[in-house]
Every structure is written in structure tokens, then in C-alpha cells.
Structure 1
Amino acid sequence: MNTTFKKNQQQKTNMKKVLVIGLLVVLIVVAFIISMNTGYIRLSPLEVFETLFGKGTDKQEVILFEFRLPRIVISVLIGMALAVSGCILQTISRNALADPGILGINSGAGLMVVLYITFFPEKNFMSIMFLPFLSFIGAGLAAILIYGLAYKKGEGISPTRLILTGVAVAAGISSAMIVLTLRLTPESYQFVATWLAGSIWGSNWDFVLALLPWVMLLLPYIFLKAQTLNVIYLGDQMANGLGVAVERERRLLLAAAVGLAGASVAVSGGIGFVGLIGPHLAKQLVGARQQFLLPASALTGGLLVIAADTIGRSIFQTEIPTGIVVAVIGAPYFLYLLAREK
């Protein structure tokens, strides 16, 4: 009788979590619709509806299909990718403050992108498709450097040392990018400044096609590894006892997290804190079980970025980079988490 009661309670709890995830999907759809109506040139809901079905003017079709829709899709994709990347990093390191931006992974990816754009400024389709691979290399090298510097023989990696090392590496890479700007042309300098501010600079369908394969391949793989992440979070000793090859799985999951972060940076610039805020908010909504936490983190991250981008495009006459809007929320939240961890 007691077992049946517990089973029923668990089913009700799981159903509530599924409903929360469904609500997040609805909120993203609502934000998507609002974002299509919002911008320097406003389109009413009726005009958006007519344009979607081929009844809008040429000007309205260009605004919606060539500028807004690809940017909105990219906002959702990078929000999902960064949030899931942060969720993986927090789980495998058992560190609530882990985030690809804070740890310097985004900076490593960004440095490679800036170098490539600086020396090869032509933006054809093939170069755009190549950018995520280049970002992955930069992010991977940064991750290896951070891991090597934070590792201490006999102790492993402590959460505090990992964060401090990541912040230091990110600061060093950012300084290198600033030094790099001294030899740039005005056009290239404008790009670097835009990237550092966290603006979604890749906002056409070519960039969507460059990012989409990474998200479509890596997210399902990570979702399939949800139970493995649950076990890893229990600790290496227990995970090994349950038959999980901890080191191999950790490396594969870390590579997936780096791939998501690197591909996102290739089209979004230095947007930070999404990988920190998304998983934390999702955990408050659905708990710590990865089967629910991973999809909830993805949806929360996508909602956060699309909302920040919409606000940045509408609050003033001039566009505010998405990264700045996210940072206004994320920086105080990071300080709060840091104080709580102490």
C-alpha cells in the first residue's frame, strides 16, 4: 500500500514537471511572436500574420524573413545551447557556479573567431559554416588550459580553484583580444567591440544553418546521457560502483558542452551568464533530475536570450547588445550565488 502511494505521488510530481516544461514551451512561443512584432520598424500582429502567409508588402517580407526571423531563431538556439552547456559543467564538476562564460570557454572560442574574422574578413557561406568548428577548437583549448591549471595532484579540482582559474584565463584572453584591436581596421575593430559586448552579430539564415547541426546533434546525445549525469553527480566512487566509466563519460560530456558553447559563440559573441542562470532557474522549477532538468534548462535559456534580445531591440531607439541585457540580470545573480556558496 505504501509503495503504491509513493508511486502515485512520484507520477503526480513527474506530471507537474512535464506541465512546467510545457508552460516553458508556450512562453517561448509567446516571446517568439512578440519578438516578430518588435524592432526599430514595428509590425502589428496582423501585419506579421499577413506577411507569414505571403500577403505582406515587399518591405515587410524583407524585415520579417531576412532580419527578424533568423535572429529570433538564433536567439533561441544559442540560449538552449549555452544553458545546456552550463548544466553539464555544473553537474560534472559538482560546482553550482560553473558556466562556459565564467570559466573562460566562451572567451577561448571568441578569440579564435576574432582572429579568423580579422585575417579572413570575407563572409561567404563556406567561411560561416567553418566558424563553429574554429570556435570549438578555441573553446576546447581554453577548457584544456583551465583544467590543467586548476588540477592539483592528490586533490583533483576544487570548485573554488576551478572558478578562479576560469576567471583568470577569461581575463587573459579578453586582454589578448583588446591588444589585438590595436592593429585592426576600423571595420574589424567595430566587429570586435560588438562581439565583446555580446551582440548577436550573425543574424541571417546562413548562420542558422551553421549553428543548427551542432544543436540538433549534441542536444539529443546529451538528453540520452541524462541518467549518466545523475549518477556522475553522486560522486566518482559511487558512479564507478554502479558501473559507469566516469572519466570517459566526463570527457565526452565535456566535449559536448564545449561544442555547444563554441558553436554558440561563433554567431552570438560573448554572451555570458546564460549557462549559469538557465540551469539554476530550471532546477527551481523541476528539480535536479537530469531527465527534466536538461530540457527545462534548454527552454529557460532560450526564453532568457530571446527576451533579452527583444528588450535590447525595443527599449531604446538604438540597439543594446543582448549580452549587456543578460549581464544586467546575470552579474547580481552570480554574486548572490557566490556569497551563498561561501
Structure 2
Amino acid sequence: MSKTTAISFDEVRRKRGFRVLAVIAVLIVAAFIISVNTGYIRLTPLELLHTLLGRGTDKQELILFDFRLPRIVISILIGAGLAVSGAVMQGVFRNDLADPGILGINAGAGLMVMLLISFYPATSAAPVFMLPLVAFVGAACTAAMIYALAYKRHQGISPIRLLLTGVAVAAGMSAAMIVLTLRLDPDKYQFVATWLAGSIWGTSWKFVLSLLPWILILLPYVIYKARVMNVLNLGDQTATGLGAAVTKEQFRLLGAAVGLAAASVAVSGGIGFVGLIGPHLARRLVGPKHQLMLPASALLGSLLVLTADTIGRWILQPSEIPTGIVVAVIGAPYFLYLLARTKS
């Protein structure tokens, strides 16, 4: 293949990738409109427009601005955060099965959030802006534990050993959470049960503000490191030969991935499989280069969580199914399919 042909092929692939991103963005807008109008009390498109323009009734403004919009924004943010976190972990570990939920990162973050909230008389009294930071501490400690247990000298980290270690650590963290619930009052027990089911429990604008800085800082940073991730995917020896500081870059990227997952978990509960499905679909749609794959993962993660949350609120009205359960119905079969295809 000539150099001109290679450049032409890359340009075609890039244009196709941008078209795919545009289509996913349009789907998110459509899901946003449907989600805004989903609930026990419906708003017609005209009522929705009037309310957005400030001409709705007090009841319509309460439903839209105080209940539905914060939850929709949080769904979009945590979907992007979890999906990009999974994409980074898959790239750094070179393991297609890596996901913050499967590897126990989410469970570690959730355990710390639960410990923080248990010190307050009511879950609403907990310092909202401290939740992502506390979750990050728990997630970082869990990630360090998994790395230490899965690493073997002269062998590194094999994909299956990493996966099994993560599953075991996640099970241990979940068991610790269940044991701690025995000492909780009924309100806090209900919160833990809701968290474990993966229900988006932080549904006010203060939770949006607590999550937003983590997404706005870490997401652009990871996308900025897309070229570095492309080099790391070539293998440690090749990356070192090309001048990359492999260990430093791996720890920086893992820190960003853990931060994204922890902040998302702090307001969303134990939603799994988003970090697994998003990157895999993105890779199929736009290719393996991280310049397009990371933004595609973020958009697909947002679309997945927003759609799952909308389905969960709609299917059994006026009751609702936790978002994590809807995502698990989609993600569990896909995970088993990927596990069956894994050769090592």
C-alpha cells in the first residue's frame, strides 16, 4: 500500500468516525427529549417547550427543573465517566474484559461512600461535595490492591488473573457492605439497598455540581492522552522504544480512570457493564484509535445509561426499576460472550 493510499484511507476512516459521533449525539438528543417526557406525570411537547421558556406552571417547572433535568444530566455524565474509565482500563491493561464494575473499583468506591453516610443522621445530611473525593480514596485503594494481587514478577498481569482478582475483590467489598448494613437504621439500609441495585440516587442539582468538575477535568485529560494510549497499546517494549514513559503514563491514566469511575459511582450507585459495553461498541464503530474511540465511548456510555434510566422509569410506572438492573440485563450476556471469545 502506498503512502498516499494509506493517508486517503485514514482520512476516509476519520470522516466516517465523525459521522458516527454525530449520529450518536443525535440519538442522545432524541433520548433526552423522550426521557424528559417520561414519568407518572407527562408533559406534552408544547408544555415542555413553554416550561423551558419559563412560561410553564409551577407544577410543570417543579417536575422538569427539580426532578427530571438533574437526573437526566447526571445519567449523561455518569455514562460518559464510566465508559471512558472502562476504555482507559482496557487500554492500559490490554484486557478487553476490564471494567470498573467487574474489577471491583465501583465496589471500593461504594464502600467508602457508605461509610461516610453512616456517620450522618440522614443520607441527605452527608456532605455532597465530599462524596466523589471519598469515593476516589476507596476506588484508588481498591485498584492498588487488585494490581498488587494480580501482578506476578517476570510475568506481569495476565488478563484472566486480573479479571478473577477483580471479581474476588468486588465480592469481598460487596460482602463488607452487606455486613455493615446490619448496624444501619431502616432509612440508611434502604439507601444501601438502592445503591447496590444501581439506582441513580443523587437526583438534584447539587449532585450535578459535585460530579461536574471531575468529568470536565478528567475527561478532556484522558482524550488529550489519546496518542499516548495508542503507543501503549503496542506493548511495553515498543512503547519504551518510541520514547514513552510507560510506567508513569500508565499510572496517570489509571488515576484518571479511577477518578472518573469513583465520581460517577458516588452519585449513581453500583451500575456495572457501562465501562465494558461502551468501549467495545465504540471500537467496532470508529476503530481502535483512541482519538475517536474515547469520545465515541463517552457518547455511547451516556446514551446507554440515559436509555436504561428512561426504560426503568417507564416500564413499571408508577414504580421504577433501578438503572443498574436494566444495564445488567443488556451487559451480562455481552460479558459472557466476550469471556467465551477470550483466549488467554
Bin of the TM-score, shorter chain as denominator length: over 0.9
* Cross-structure match for 1:181: 181
* Cross-structure match for 1:113: 113
For the residue of structure 1 that corresponds to 2:118, the secondary structure is: helix
* Cross-structure match for 2:57: 57
For the residue of structure 1 that corresponds to 2:127, the secondary structure is: helix
* Cross-structure match for 1:331: 332
Contact 1:139 1:262 in 2 (8 A): yes
Contact 2:82 2:260 in 1 (8 A): yes
Contact 1:199 1:321 in 2 (8 A): yes
Contact 1:105 1:139 in 2 (8 A): yes
For residues 30-81 of structure 1, what are the alpha-carbon distances to aligned partners after superposition, in whole Å with 9 as ceiling and x for unaligned?
A: 1111100111211111111110001111101000000000000000000000
1:10 positional shift: 2.0
* Cross-structure match for 1:267: 267
For the residue of structure 1 that corresponds to 2:201, the secondary structure is: coil
Code of the aligned partner of 1:47: E
1:148–1:121 distance in 2 versus 1, CA, 3 Å? farther
* Cross-structure match for 1:199: 199
For the residue of structure 2 that corresponds to 1:163, the secondary structure is: helix
1:7 positional shift: 2.1
For residues 94-120 of structure 1, what are the alpha-carbon distances to aligned partners after superposition, in whole Å with 9 as ceiling and x for unaligned?
A: 000000000000000000001111112
Contact 1:51 1:57 in 2 (8 A): yes
Structure 2 residue runs of 5 or longer lacking an equivalent are: none
Code of the aligned partner of 1:93: F
* Cross-structure match for 1:312: 312
Contact 2:273 2:327 in 1 (8 A): yes
Structure 1 residue runs of 5 or longer lacking an equivalent are: none
* Cross-structure match for 1:322: 323
* Cross-structure match for 1:288: 288
Contact 1:199 1:269 in 2 (8 A): yes
Code of the aligned partner of 2:234: L
Contact 1:110 1:135 in 2 (8 A): yes
Q: Give the whole-Å Cα distance in 2 for the aligned partners of 1:260 and 1:310.
A: 23
1:151 positional shift: 0.9
Code of the aligned partner of 1:147: Y
Code of the aligned partner of 2:13: T
Contact 1:125 1:206 in 2 (8 A): no
For the residue of structure 2 that corresponds to 1:119, the secondary structure is: coil
Q: Give the whole-Å Cα distance in 2 for the aligned partners of 1:154 and 1:2.
A: 40
Superposed CA RMSD: 1.2
Q: Does 1:254 align with 2:254?
A: yes
1:125–1:118 distance in 2 versus 1, CA, 3 Å? closer
Contact 2:122 2:187 in 1 (8 A): no
Q: Does 1:340 align with 2:316?
A: no
Q: Give the whole-Å Cα distance in 1 for the aligned partners of 2:287 and 2:333.
A: 23
- Name the count of aligned residue pairs: 342
- TM-score w.r.t. length of structure 1: 0.98
Q: Does 1:156 align with 2:188?
A: no
1:123 positional shift: 5.5
1:3 positional shift: 3.1
Q: Give the whole-Å Cα distance in 1 for the aligned partners of 2:4 and 2:68.
A: 51
Q: Give the whole-Å Cα distance in 2 for the aligned partners of 1:340 and 1:227.
A: 28
Q: Give the whole-Å Cα distance in 1 for the aligned partners of 2:91 and 2:3.
A: 30
Code of the aligned partner of 2:167: V
Q: Give the whole-Å Cα distance in 1 for the aligned partners of 2:39 and 2:73.
A: 15
Contact 2:228 2:244 in 1 (8 A): yes
Code of the aligned partner of 1:327: A
Identity percentage over the alignment? 66
Contact 2:198 2:270 in 1 (8 A): yes
Code of the aligned partner of 2:174: S
Q: Give the whole-Å Cα distance in 1 for the aligned partners of 2:301 and 2:177.
A: 27
- TM-score w.r.t. length of structure 2: 0.97
Code of the aligned partner of 1:32: F
For the residue of structure 1 that corresponds to 2:146, the secondary structure is: helix
For residues 258-315 of structure 1, what are the alpha-carbon distances to aligned partners after superposition, in whole Å with 9 as ceiling and x for unaligned?
A: 0000000100000000000000011110010000000000000000000000000001
Q: Give the whole-Å Cα distance in 2 for the aligned partners of 1:234 and 1:278.
A: 22
Code of the aligned partner of 1:290: H
For the residue of structure 1 that corresponds to 2:100, the secondary structure is: coil
Q: Give the whole-Å Cα distance in 2 for the aligned partners of 1:322 and 1:297.
A: 19
Contact 1:81 1:298 in 2 (8 A): yes
